[in-house]
Chains A and B, each alone.
Chain A
């Protein structure tokens, strides 16, 4: 417990203003201090956090009359007006009653319904017959009794008043429910010592140019309550997915990789054919891949197209190929790239084996698949892609690069198993061990490009280590996202609060 003097030194002007009146009820504090409601409540809250008072807030629901209610209280409820009319006539045609009563269409309908339900009238052949006894007529209804006794606190209503309230609530603007918050305060022991006292203060509030100019030794500042909450502030921020991508990029750059970039729309030639994916492969069907309607793309130079065609039809380098008739038109169809591996294919085609080796390239890019959206699926996803081109590279070297990358991403343990892709052989599936969750996570594939890829694209058989793993798993895992849709929801309060990836 800090000393009372220290606490007094911390009192803000607002708190000091109400200190002399703290012995009084809240309503009087307000009057005497002249503060508005918000300032008063703030001052009370500050005092409470300093341990000088305890506030007690109570919420009350007050039932009061609405605009129609006020009118009906003065005159009659419409059903009463109607009843008076029928009482005079005993029997009256419906239409006539409507006219004479001067009730609105709706009021008339409601009144009729109420009187019928209370068995006070009967409707026959378009006429209204009175059935209620004199006694019944003179007795005030529950609704009328309630209207007369309002305002009342909801929690204190009797059962029959509750019943009447439910009936009236269904009707327009007869009753209103107001929420009233009342605050009461109790003084703590230290609070009692300052309550009722006028606390004079020569303590300086803010440091202003004036204060600096006129500073005198012996001047004192008011102590601030450093524990009180500051208003929330949000800074500008990059999207967390882009931050994660930057993180991955940085690692590839550190490892000496050069970034590849290319368009999202690609011809099937680059996305599939150059990667030795046969034209009848299921991945090339509409149900898996986004094709653009009515669009054809340009193919690269004829020599390369012919090489790819030959490789598919009869193979290269003693490979058997896929042995079918390759269709150039099919390869012109435009797709949203299904993997970033098409970037690797394009990059290989641009390399000069004599000058450009060794070469290492990477990309982290958006890919697409024709997929429905739920917590674990989406039509957009990121892939991290890489190739290493040099003579004498081996499968063990491929594993070496992957192990290093994932180690830098925070996964010490990496495991490899055989995989299958049409464009790599040998192929590898990569799993990383999640150090906290203690489970293996599947990340995707890698391998050494088949000669059916490298010979047409590079012109010679050079080993190309290649990989293309999903990156979303890494992102969702780091940010502890359970539903993939959160990556794309762009909820601003979520984006503002996202923690920075500091690892």
Chain B
């Protein structure tokens, strides 16, 4: 998700922000974050990079409001003789595609330059996936000699002054020393050759997706003409990104000029602003939305989303990246129709409700235990490293890159419950708690294959208490379910020897109970005696593993 801030004055040159219009903003599919004295902040969903700029937003929003509806066409000038980019086959292995354009007649103020850089950054982050998928470069044309080559070179042979520096650096130095280079080094690090744009005088313009040259890569208020390139891995998205930028510049008054791209296996002219067509069926529209729209209405609604409709087919703007299927157009129709006008309607779909068997069992057990006066707790599913260590849980499953100190999945319920009791030291005793929840263990299938095993467990902790009390509860619980259990003495370093047992039902161990050893209690900072039991519900209830009925 991306929030954009537009200058309120600039916005209001085109659309006055009356109460009625402000209400329309979220209904257009762009939640309004806030309006201040000089700014309006709007959330743009990731499927609409074409409305990240003020110009792009107003183009669509005005149509939505019924002004300048339909597919907007922009004039392009055919490529001049020199407007050429030669793509060397060496880039195939590093960053295979580019799409380029020239825009003239620009009158850039500082404000406009800032907007342009903002747009470039937002596109990098969103559709460009942090420059991995797409990187964009914009250069003042007067500093460049056409035609241009896009090629890959050994990093040691790439020498230029990167943006913001005063000295010449080579490709490797940029990745290791330049701040932007370090931020994006991972995108090139494993390559033996790096891509560069080079002009006809062999000046390096940039090393995508990292950085422009300080000499040729800075647009200023004097700049009247720019060269734009987008590079990356997916030609269609690159072209659409280029279209978003050039049409934004055209909205600022620029004149779009095409370039010929000379790939080793094909020739392309970019930017390509021809539109795409998708078939749409009136029947599908009405059945999916639950409406009864006429063809003429659909045509009108589509035009308010910037599309042209003719003969059951929709012409789509070449900067829209989000129309994959007819349903995407149907949503556009719904937006133009107005979500606020859709009347909710319960269909007569007759079905029978059913709670899952496991949920029923868990709820019954919780009822038995609360009947005994126990308090249910609900702990995090994650535990801290030192907690795993305190309870000898070497096999606890580890998460990658957790942002908090909770880095492991709980392999039992005892561990988080002990944390909770240690945090409740100052509350009234006795404290009698239980939790029913998921625990995570590993299951070794064979030497190299490990799987996660999830179980539903029940843990009961009583304090101050002893083994008799916990046994009373186990007796009551098993009798209530109609089961009999056996006890086998067990050694467990956390508990007192001779007061720890394995609980066995139907010949299978289902869990354990015991009195915790003073050393365990002290390591948790607990001053009161605790007796506990933890059992697996899977084993406790015979019906647990019955397949759920459909």
Contacts and interface: CB of A to CB of B under 8 A. Distances in A.
A426 B289 contact: yes
A252 B400 CA distance: 35
Contact of B427 (A287, A426, A492): A492
A93 interface: no
Interface stretch (A45-53, A196-204, A385-393): A385-393
B339 A428 contact: yes
B370 A280 contact: no
A308 interface: no
B464 interface: no
A386 to B, nearest CB: 12
A261 B399 CA distance: 23
Interface in B313-327: 324-327
A84 B346 CA distance: 101
A99 B363 CA distance: 76
Given A237-B375, A242-B366, A380-B380, A397 B324 contact: no
Interface stretch (A23-31, A60-68, A206-214, A411-419): A411-419
A370 B427 contact: no
A394 B290 contact: yes
Contact of B369 (A236, A404, A490): A236
A490 B381 contact: no
A448 B288 contact: yes
B166 interface: no
A246 B428 CA distance: 28
Which size class do B's interface residues fall under? 35 or more
A267 to B, nearest CB: 10
Interface in A397-450: 397, 399-404, 414-420, 425-429, 448, 450
B29 A336 contact: no
A330 interface: no
A292 B325 CA distance: 34
B428 A493 contact: yes
A476 interface: no
A418 B27 contact: yes
Contacts of B356: 259-261
Q: Range of interface residues on chain A? A: 35 or more
B35 to A, nearest CB: 16
A242 B367 CA distance: 12
Could you say which of B133, B424, B431 has the most chain A C-beta atoms within 10 Å of its C-beta? B424
A286 B438 CA distance: 23
Interface string A220-253: 0000000000000011111101100010010011
Interface of B: 26-29, 31, 45-48, 129, 132-133, 234, 236, 278-279, 287-291, 324-328, 330-331, 334-335, 339-340, 342-347, 349-356, 358-359, 363, 366, 369-382, 397-404, 406, 409, 420, 423-424, 427-428, 431-433, 438, 440, 450-452, 454, 550
Contacts, number: 265
B454 A265 contact: yes
B353 A380 contact: no
A295 B450 contact: yes
B370 A236 contact: yes
A324 B325 CA distance: 17
A258 B354 contact: yes
B406 A379 contact: yes
Contact of B378 (A239, A264, A419, A463): A239
B354 A392 contact: no
A170 interface: no
Given A264-B454, A379-B404, A492-B431, A280 B133 contact: yes
Contacts of A241: 378
Given A256-B351, A319-B324, A371-B403, A236 B379 contact: no
A320 B399 CA distance: 35
A496 B48 CA distance: 49
A238 B437 CA distance: 13
> Nearest 10 CB-CB pairs, A to B?
A394-B290, A418-B29, A396-B290, A420-B45, A236-B370, A399-B344, A426-B331, A319-B325, A253-B353, A259-B356
Given A261-B356, A418-B28, A418-B29, A396 B375 contact: no
Contacts of B401: 286-287, 291, 370
29 contacts: A256-B349, A256-B350, A256-B352, A257-B353, A261-B358, A263-B438, A286-B401, A291-B399, A292-B397, A293-B400, A298-B451, A315-B324, A318-B278, A318-B325, A318-B326, A336-B399, A350-B550, A366-B381, A380-B380, A393-B347, A397-B346, A399-B342, A400-B345, A417-B26, A425-B327, A428-B339, A487-B378, A492-B431, A495-B376
Interface string A311-337: 000010111110110000000001010
A246 B370 CA distance: 15
Given A426-B330, A450-B327, A358 B402 contact: no
B325 A452 contact: yes
A320 B329 CA distance: 14
Interface string A253-295: 1111111110111000000000000001010001100111111
A491 interface: yes
A360 interface: yes
Contacts of B374: 236
Contacts of A368: 381
B349 A321 contact: no
Contacts of B371: 236
B375 A496 contact: yes
B381 A380 contact: yes
Interface of A: 234-239, 241-242, 246, 249, 252-261, 263-265, 280, 282, 286-287, 290-295, 297-298, 315, 317-321, 323-324, 334, 336, 350, 356, 358-360, 366, 368, 370-373, 379-380, 388, 390, 392-397, 399-404, 414-420, 425-429, 448, 450-452, 463, 487-493, 495-496
B26 A420 contact: no
B232 to A, nearest CB: 11
Contacts of B400: 286, 290-293
Contacts of B335: 418
A400 B29 contact: no
A280 to B, nearest CB: 5
A401 B347 CA distance: 9
A372 B402 CA distance: 9
A426 B334 contact: yes
A324 B373 contact: no
Contacts of A388: 347, 349
B359 to A, nearest CB: 6
Contacts of B355: 249, 253, 259
B344 A403 contact: yes
B346 A265 contact: no
A492 B433 contact: yes
Contact of B353 (A234, A254, A404): A254
A490 B325 contact: no
Nearest to B549: A258
A469 B40 CA distance: 27
A451 B403 contact: no
Given A258-B351, A490-B420, A490-B424, 15 more contacts: A235-B370, A249-B355, A263-B452, A263-B454, A298-B451, A321-B324, A324-B234, A371-B403, A380-B380, A397-B345, A401-B346, A416-B342, A452-B325, A490-B378, A492-B424
Nearest to B355: A259
Contacts of B290: 394-397
A381 to B, nearest CB: 11
Contacts of A427: 331
Contact of B325 (A287, A317, A404): A317
A253 B403 CA distance: 37
Contact of A416 (B45, B324, B339): B339
B349 A292 contact: no
Given A260-B356, A292-B398, A358 B349 contact: yes
Contacts of B26: 417-418, 429
Given A265-B454, A320-B324, A321-B324, A373 B404 contact: yes
B335 to A, nearest CB: 5
B427 A491 contact: yes
Nearest to A429: B31
Contacts of B370: 235-238
